[in-house]
Protein backbone atom coordinates (compact mmCIF):
# COMPACT_ATOMS: atom_id res chain seq x y z
CA UNK A 1 0.00 0.00 0.00
CA UNK A 2 1.12 3.57 -0.52
CA UNK A 3 1.88 6.08 2.22
CA UNK A 4 0.16 9.44 2.48
CA UNK A 5 -0.91 12.05 5.00
CA UNK A 6 -3.09 15.14 4.98
CA UNK A 7 -1.17 18.39 5.35
CA UNK A 8 -2.17 22.06 5.43
CA UNK A 9 -0.92 24.52 2.79
CA UNK A 10 -1.58 28.27 2.60
CA UNK A 11 -3.75 29.33 -0.35
CA UNK A 12 -1.67 31.31 -2.87
CA UNK A 13 -4.50 33.83 -3.30
CA UNK A 14 -5.92 34.48 0.17
CA UNK A 15 -3.65 32.65 2.62
CA UNK A 16 -6.45 30.45 3.95
CA UNK A 17 -5.30 26.92 4.91
CA UNK A 18 -6.04 24.17 2.40
CA UNK A 19 -5.93 20.51 3.45
CA UNK A 20 -4.31 18.33 0.79
CA UNK A 21 -3.49 14.61 0.88
CA UNK A 22 0.24 14.39 0.18
CA UNK A 23 1.82 11.09 -0.85
CA UNK A 24 5.30 9.82 -0.08
CA UNK A 25 4.79 6.56 -1.95
CA UNK A 26 2.08 5.31 -4.27
CA UNK A 27 1.19 1.84 -5.39
CA UNK A 28 -0.85 2.11 -8.58
CA UNK A 29 -1.47 -1.63 -8.87
CA UNK A 30 -3.24 -1.51 -5.49
CA UNK A 31 -4.64 2.04 -5.78
CA UNK A 32 -5.78 2.38 -9.42
CA UNK A 33 -7.92 5.39 -8.41
CA UNK A 34 -4.70 7.31 -7.72
CA UNK A 35 -3.39 6.55 -11.21
CA UNK A 36 -6.72 7.80 -12.54
CA UNK A 37 -6.29 11.00 -10.46
CA UNK A 38 -2.75 11.48 -11.83
CA UNK A 39 -3.96 11.18 -15.42
CA UNK A 40 -6.87 13.57 -14.72
CA UNK A 41 -4.59 16.08 -12.99
CA UNK A 42 -6.30 15.91 -9.60
CA UNK A 43 -3.62 14.07 -7.59
CA UNK A 44 -2.44 16.31 -4.69
CA UNK A 45 -4.81 19.03 -5.88
CA UNK A 46 -6.72 21.05 -3.28
CA UNK A 47 -9.26 23.83 -3.46
CA UNK A 48 -9.52 26.79 -1.09
CA UNK A 49 -12.85 26.82 0.72
CA UNK A 50 -12.72 30.58 1.08
CA UNK A 51 -11.81 31.82 -2.44
CA UNK A 52 -12.17 28.61 -4.49
CA UNK A 53 -8.60 28.86 -5.90
CA UNK A 54 -6.80 25.64 -6.65
CA UNK A 55 -3.44 24.62 -5.26
CA UNK A 56 -1.47 21.60 -6.41
CA UNK A 57 1.41 20.27 -4.32
CA UNK A 58 4.39 19.23 -6.46
CA UNK A 59 5.21 15.51 -6.64
CA UNK A 60 7.95 14.17 -4.38
CA UNK A 61 7.35 10.46 -4.01
CA UNK A 62 7.99 7.05 -5.47
CA UNK A 63 5.45 5.24 -7.59
CA UNK A 64 5.28 1.54 -8.18
CA UNK A 65 2.96 -0.32 -10.51
CA UNK A 66 3.74 -4.03 -10.29
CA UNK A 67 0.99 -4.90 -12.77
CA UNK A 68 2.61 -2.72 -15.42
CA UNK A 69 6.23 -3.28 -14.30
CA UNK A 70 7.21 0.30 -13.68
CA UNK A 71 8.79 2.19 -10.78
CA UNK A 72 9.19 5.97 -10.85
CA UNK A 73 11.05 8.36 -8.58
CA UNK A 74 8.99 11.55 -8.99
CA UNK A 75 10.49 14.95 -8.11
CA UNK A 76 9.23 18.55 -8.23
CA UNK A 77 9.69 20.32 -11.59
CA UNK A 78 12.14 22.80 -10.03
CA UNK A 79 14.58 19.98 -9.13
CA UNK A 80 15.22 19.22 -12.82
CA UNK A 81 18.61 20.99 -13.03
CA UNK A 82 19.80 18.68 -10.20
CA UNK A 83 18.77 15.51 -12.00
CA UNK A 84 22.11 13.77 -11.46
CA UNK A 85 21.83 14.03 -7.67
CA UNK A 86 18.19 12.99 -7.84
CA UNK A 87 19.16 9.94 -9.88
CA UNK A 88 21.54 8.86 -7.09
CA UNK A 89 18.67 9.19 -4.61
CA UNK A 90 16.43 7.14 -6.91
CA UNK A 91 19.00 4.37 -7.26
CA UNK A 92 19.33 4.10 -3.49
CA UNK A 93 15.56 4.08 -2.97
CA UNK A 94 15.01 1.50 -5.69
CA UNK A 95 17.80 -0.71 -4.31
CA UNK A 96 16.29 -0.53 -0.84
CA UNK A 97 13.00 -1.89 -2.19
CA UNK A 98 14.25 -4.38 -4.76
CA UNK A 99 18.02 -4.72 -4.23
CA UNK A 100 20.21 -7.30 -2.44
CA UNK A 101 18.73 -6.61 1.02
CA UNK A 102 15.14 -7.27 -0.13
CA UNK A 103 13.53 -10.74 0.16
CA UNK A 104 14.47 -12.99 -2.74
CA UNK A 105 11.06 -13.00 -4.42
CA UNK A 106 10.96 -9.21 -4.29
CA UNK A 107 14.44 -9.08 -5.86
CA UNK A 108 13.16 -11.35 -8.64
CA UNK A 109 10.21 -9.03 -9.16
CA UNK A 110 12.60 -6.06 -9.33
CA UNK A 111 14.37 -7.58 -12.34
CA UNK A 112 11.24 -7.18 -14.48
CA UNK A 113 10.58 -3.60 -13.37
CA UNK A 114 11.64 -0.58 -15.42
CA UNK A 115 12.96 2.11 -13.05
CA UNK A 116 12.42 5.71 -14.13
CA UNK A 117 12.67 9.27 -12.82
CA UNK A 118 10.54 12.31 -13.64
CA UNK A 119 10.34 16.02 -12.74
CA UNK A 120 7.01 17.78 -12.38
CA UNK A 121 3.46 16.61 -13.00
CA UNK A 122 3.52 16.75 -16.82
CA UNK A 123 6.55 14.45 -17.12
CA UNK A 124 5.11 11.97 -14.60
CA UNK A 125 1.77 11.87 -16.39
CA UNK A 126 3.55 11.40 -19.74
CA UNK A 127 5.60 8.49 -18.38
CA UNK A 128 2.49 6.74 -17.03
CA UNK A 129 0.57 7.37 -20.28
CA UNK A 130 3.38 5.74 -22.27
CA UNK A 131 3.40 2.83 -19.82
CA UNK A 132 -0.36 2.39 -20.24
CA UNK A 133 -0.02 2.55 -24.03
CA UNK A 134 2.83 -0.01 -23.87
CA UNK A 135 5.17 2.41 -25.60
CA UNK A 136 8.93 2.17 -25.14
CA UNK A 137 9.79 5.59 -23.70
CA UNK A 138 13.30 5.59 -25.21
CA UNK A 139 11.90 5.10 -28.72
CA UNK A 140 9.16 7.64 -27.96
CA UNK A 141 11.62 10.31 -26.78
CA UNK A 142 13.77 9.98 -29.92
CA UNK A 143 10.68 10.26 -32.12
CA UNK A 144 9.69 13.31 -30.09
CA UNK A 145 13.10 14.89 -30.76
CA UNK A 146 12.46 14.58 -34.50
CA UNK A 147 8.93 15.91 -34.09
CA UNK A 148 10.40 18.98 -32.38
CA UNK A 149 12.88 19.50 -35.21
CA UNK A 150 10.11 19.29 -37.80
CA UNK A 151 8.16 22.16 -36.21
CA UNK A 152 8.20 25.50 -38.04
CA UNK A 153 7.71 27.47 -34.82
CA UNK A 154 10.77 27.67 -32.55
CA UNK A 155 10.57 25.82 -29.24
CA UNK A 156 9.78 28.06 -26.26
CA UNK A 157 12.76 28.70 -23.97
CA UNK A 158 13.23 26.50 -20.89
CA UNK A 159 10.49 24.11 -21.94
CA UNK A 160 10.02 20.41 -22.61
CA UNK A 161 7.48 18.92 -25.00
CA UNK A 162 5.15 16.59 -23.10
CA UNK A 163 2.48 14.17 -24.20
CA UNK A 164 -0.68 15.47 -22.52
CA UNK A 165 -3.54 13.67 -24.20
CA UNK A 166 -4.86 11.39 -26.86
CA UNK A 167 -7.81 11.91 -29.20
CA UNK A 168 -9.06 10.14 -32.36
CA UNK A 169 -6.73 12.33 -34.46
CA UNK A 170 -3.68 11.31 -32.50
CA UNK A 171 -1.35 12.48 -29.75
CA UNK A 172 -1.60 15.92 -28.19
CA UNK A 173 1.63 17.52 -26.99
CA UNK A 174 2.19 20.71 -25.02
CA UNK A 175 5.29 22.72 -24.24
CA UNK A 176 5.74 22.75 -20.48
CA UNK A 177 8.03 25.12 -18.58
CA UNK A 178 10.89 23.26 -16.87
CA UNK A 179 10.54 24.88 -13.48
CA UNK A 180 6.82 25.36 -12.94
CA UNK A 181 5.00 22.96 -15.29
CA UNK A 182 3.08 25.81 -16.99
CA UNK A 183 1.88 25.36 -20.58
CA UNK A 184 3.63 27.55 -23.15
CA UNK A 185 2.86 28.15 -26.83
CA UNK A 186 0.43 26.25 -29.01
CA UNK A 187 -0.38 22.59 -28.69
CA UNK A 188 1.18 20.19 -31.18
CA UNK A 189 -0.81 17.38 -32.69
CA UNK A 190 0.86 14.22 -34.06
CA UNK A 191 -0.76 11.22 -35.77
CA UNK A 192 -1.07 7.97 -33.81
CA UNK A 193 1.65 6.38 -35.94
CA UNK A 194 4.07 9.28 -35.56
CA UNK A 195 6.70 7.09 -33.89
CA UNK A 196 6.77 4.72 -36.89
CA UNK A 197 6.82 7.70 -39.29
CA UNK A 198 9.76 9.25 -37.47
CA UNK A 199 11.59 5.92 -37.34
CA UNK A 200 11.34 5.57 -41.13
CA UNK A 201 12.31 9.18 -41.73
CA UNK A 202 15.60 9.83 -43.53
CA UNK A 203 16.23 12.45 -40.82
CA UNK A 204 16.32 9.74 -38.15
CA UNK A 205 19.16 10.31 -35.71
CA UNK A 206 20.21 6.97 -34.22
CA UNK A 207 22.62 8.64 -31.82
CA UNK A 208 19.74 10.15 -29.81
CA UNK A 209 18.88 6.68 -28.47
CA UNK A 210 22.51 6.18 -27.48
CA UNK A 211 22.66 9.50 -25.67
CA UNK A 212 19.39 9.02 -23.80
CA UNK A 213 19.67 5.42 -22.69
CA UNK A 214 21.11 4.18 -19.41
CA UNK A 215 20.06 5.14 -15.91
CA UNK A 216 16.64 6.17 -14.64
CA UNK A 217 16.31 9.41 -16.58
CA UNK A 218 15.01 8.84 -20.10
CA UNK A 219 14.27 12.39 -21.12
CA UNK A 220 15.24 14.79 -23.92
CA UNK A 221 16.38 17.29 -21.30
CA UNK A 222 19.56 15.18 -21.00
CA UNK A 223 20.59 16.26 -24.50
CA UNK A 224 20.50 19.94 -23.53
CA UNK A 225 21.97 19.72 -20.07
CA UNK A 226 25.57 19.13 -21.07
CA UNK A 227 25.71 15.43 -20.12
ZN1 LIG B 1 -8.01 31.12 -1.01
How far apart are the CA of 51 and the centre of ligand 1, in A? Answer: 4
How far apart are the CA of 45 and the centre of ligand 1, in A? Answer: 13
How far apart are the CA of 16 and the centre of ligand 1, in A? Answer: 5
How far apart are the CA of 204 and the centre of ligand 1, in A? Answer: 49
Q: Indicate yes or no: pTM above 0.85.
A: yes
What percentage of the chain exceeds 90 in pLDDT? 75
- Residue 14: the pLDDT is 97
Region 145-163 average pLDDT: 91
For 77-101, the pLDDT digits (tens) are 999 999 999 999 999 999 999 988 8
How far apart are the CA of 9 and the centre of ligand 1, in A? Answer: 10
For 174-190, the pLDDT digits (tens) are 999 998 889 998 999 99
Region 115-143 average pLDDT: 95
How far apart are the CA of 160 and the centre of ligand 1, in A? Answer: 30
How far apart are the CA of 20 and the centre of ligand 1, in A? Answer: 13
Q: pLDDT class for 218, splitting at 50, 70, 90? A: very high
- Residue 204: the pLDDT is 66
- Residue 198: the pLDDT is 81
Task: DSSP for 163-211, please give it.
Answer: EEEEETTEEEEEEEETTT--EEEEEEEE-TTHHHHHHHSTT--HHHHHH
pLDDT greater than 60 at residue 227: no
pLDDT greater than 60 at residue 216: yes
- Residue 71: the pLDDT is 97
How far apart are the CA of 5 and the centre of ligand 1, in A? Answer: 21
* Backbone angle region of 94, left / alpha / beta, with phi > 0 → left and psi within -120 to 50 → alpha: alpha
pLDDT greater than 80 at residue 202: no
- Residue 201: the pLDDT is 77
Angstrom distance (rounded) from CA 214 to CA 111: 15
How far apart are the CA of 159 and the centre of ligand 1, in A? Answer: 29
Amino acid sequence: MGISQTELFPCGECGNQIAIEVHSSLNFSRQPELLEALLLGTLQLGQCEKCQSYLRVEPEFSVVDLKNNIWIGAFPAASLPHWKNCEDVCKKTFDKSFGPTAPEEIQEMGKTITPRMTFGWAALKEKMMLNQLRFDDLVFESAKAQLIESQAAPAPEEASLRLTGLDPQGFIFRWVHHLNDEYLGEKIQAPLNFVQIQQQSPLKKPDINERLKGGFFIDLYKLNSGH
